[in-house]
Amino acid sequence: MKKKSAKLDYKGRSVSLYWDDMATILAIFKNHCKEVTISDDENEYDDLDELRASRGGEVSKLDISSFMPSLYFQKDNGLRFWGSGDASLPFIEITSILDRRKRRLLNFVLSPTGLSVLFVVYASLVWLGYRAFHPSDWYTGIQRRGSSCSGLTEARHVC
């Protein structure tokens, strides 16, 4: 009988990574895994310096994968990092780096709670804008509730 290994998975859509972070992540891969490959859309690279020289300062797509244990790091539109249960130690080390680089505000704004708050704020601003540019509705509302005006304003029919 063989025990199944756990599936490790990390997804992040708002993580900012720098070259030194990528060098640390690659060092963790190389310390814990046997065959490590670095690639993008078009090429496979030997190290990050070669990738940086080929693609320039910002890389839009990057794949780092390894064998024994199976570990995959993929940066495309978002960020995904996954592996087998045998890779739990490097997985924990790399996810700690990724958690430090999360953009907290963007994460909150894109969450269901953040979107709800933004909707309420937007609806309130629309409602207040309507009230600010249609003050006649306020006067008719006051008259419907039965409030009376002072004698001076009643003579002028301002209410």
Residue with tokens 């997985």: 91
145 token code pair: 């509730």
Minimal CA–CA distance to 26: which of 58, 141, 17? 17
* Domains along the chain with CATH numbers: 8-102 (3.30.1340), 111-156 (no CATH)
pLDDT tens, position by position, 35-86? 899 988 888 988 888 888 887 777 778 888 888 788 888 888 777 887 876 7
| pLDDT higher than threshold 70 for residue 100 | yes
140 token code pair: 């008719």
Q: Output the average pLDDT for the chain.
A: 76
- The pLDDT-based confidence of 151 (bands split at 50, 70, 90) is very low
